[in-house]
Structure 1
Amino acid sequence: MKANFDFEVKYWQQGIKLIAGVDEAGRGPLAGPVVAAAVILKPDFNHPEVFDSKALSKKKREALKDLIEKEALAIGVGIVSEKEIDKINILEAARLAMLKAIKDLKIKPEFILTDFMKLPDLPHEAIVKGDQKSTSIAAASIIAKVTRDEIMKKYDEIYPHYDFKNNQGYGTKKHLEALEKNGVSPIHRTTFNPVSIYIRKQE
């Protein structure tokens, strides 16, 4: 299966030209922010390797991010911190990150395609497995994923015990062992299990 422009074409044929694909990265990790990206592509963007970022290697994602940045009409990024995630829950934080990414676009989109996320008061279509079907959403998923990985790599330098540069905050064996040994860092999501369990152990 390859992502394509079928969803975009449906709206382009209605005279809607500026369509932003939107996706997020980082719903599942125990630490760090959730990051969303919004990408407006030109209709002649033709790179069949652009697909759901989770299905691509790190090297391929990084190469495609550079390509998308060169060729996209506009790219916006939205970041919501782990503190905000703990306040409003991860679903609302992911939605907020998407809204921030759309607002960050230098060109205002006429329509938005999301990876199955409803957005209030904006003309959009929420597509099931959108990052595998729509090239615009797939491009956004790549930008969001690589951007978040870069953030977690920087956090690894500040909090080296947790191996963030390799696990991106996900609950790997090494990460959980570090939590057991070193306790919770300032960037851990305190409402997520098992982080909340380790917090109770520290009390």
Structure 2
Amino acid sequence: MARGKAPTRKIEQELWAHGHETVVGIDEVGRGAWAGPLMVGAAILPRDKRIQGVRDSKMLTEADRERLFDRIADWCITWSVGAVSQEECDEMGMADAQRLACRRAVEGLEVVPDVAVSDGKWDFVTPCVAEVEMRVKADRHCLSVAAASILAKVVRDREMRRLSESYPNWSFDTNKGYPCPKHKAALQGYGPSAIHRRTWVFMDNYVRWPGVERVFRPEQPTLF
């Protein structure tokens, strides 16, 4: 069941009133995970239709998100989820990884947006979209961002459940690669899996196996 106040189209309406034709909501998932991909969702919604129950993905249960997924996907004019692997996260660093996932998401859309709305204060969307509106808690208040958050979350959750079949010891089917007691205990007992992010600081704190050490990414120029 959806919780909290429903997001609105207020931000989109402001942008339409200023002459923007195509508004895309952008949201990321997996930034704080210790394993698995980082993903960015992009959603462009119709102006005259809505569906009930859309909220920031963090305010919904996994079952609610799954129930809404097909309805949101069919409702969108176009939507896309861009992903970067754990290897790319390690190689590039999180800032460039987010930008690359966003670029892949925007390139996957069937139409070109002229303005994006994204959550928070840090802009990882430029230069993927010509103009970017950063709004704090946009995933709670902006309908297109909330839709993007659900699409990205469900796609990533499904991928982590699929990967858990190959890496059962780390309980990725339930924790989705995020830290939790079972995940930490598995790291101490089994070490990191092939899909863990080896440059993350948890490697110093939870992996005590000789020969399995944290990887330090050399400083390199940004790709963007």
- Shorter-chain TM-score bucket reads over 0.9
* 1:120 counterpart residue number: 126
Counting only pairs closer than 5 Å after superposition, residues 124-203 of structure 1 correspond to structure 2 as 124-199=132-207, 201-203=209-211
* 1:110 counterpart residue number: 114
User: Hey, what's the Cα distance between the residues in 2 that align with 1:151 and 1:80?
Assistant: 12
- Asked if the contact 2:43–2:79 (Cα under 8 Å) also holds between the matched residues in 1, the reply is yes
What amino acid does structure 1 have at the position aligned with 2:117? L
User: Hey, what's the Cα distance between the residues in 2 that align with 1:2 and 1:69?
Assistant: 18
Among 7, 14, 19, which residue is 1:10 paired with?
14
User: Hey, what's the Cα distance between the residues in 2 that align with 1:44 and 1:169?
Assistant: 38
2:64 is the counterpart of 1:56: no
- Asked if the contact 2:50–2:75 (Cα under 8 Å) also holds between the matched residues in 1, the reply is no
List alignment gaps of at least 5 residues for structure 1: none
- Higher RCO structure (Cα 8 Å, ≥6 apart): 1
User: Hey, what's the Cα distance between the residues in 2 that align with 1:191 and 1:173?
Assistant: 20
User: Hey, what's the Cα distance between the residues in 2 that align with 1:53 and 1:43?
Assistant: 21
Q: Per-residue CA shift, 1:56-104, capped at 9, x if unaligned?
A: 0111111221111111100111001111111222233122211210111
Post-superposition shift, 1:35? 0.7
**Range 89-98 or range 170-179, more displaced:** 89-98
Question: What SS class does the counterpart of residue 158 from structure 1 fall into?
Answer: coil
* 2:27 counterpart residue number: 23
User: Hey, what's the Cα distance between the residues in 2 that align with 1:16 and 1:52?
Assistant: 24
What amino acid does structure 1 have at the position aligned with 2:119? D
**Range 135-144 or range 106-115, more displaced:** 106-115
Q: Which has the higher helix share?
A: 1
User: Hey, what's the Cα distance between the residues in 1 that align with 2:149 and 2:46?
Assistant: 17
User: Hey, what's the Cα distance between the residues in 1 that align with 2:131 and 2:28?
Assistant: 18
TM-score by length of 1: 0.94
Post-superposition shift, 1:15? 2.9
2:107 is the counterpart of 1:99: no
Report % sequence identity.
Answer: 37
Post-superposition shift, 1:10? 0.5
Post-superposition shift, 1:172? 1.0
Q: Where does structure 1 differ by over 3 angstroms across 4 or more consecutive aligned residues?
A: 196-201
Question: What SS class does the counterpart of residue 39 from structure 2 fall into?
Answer: strand
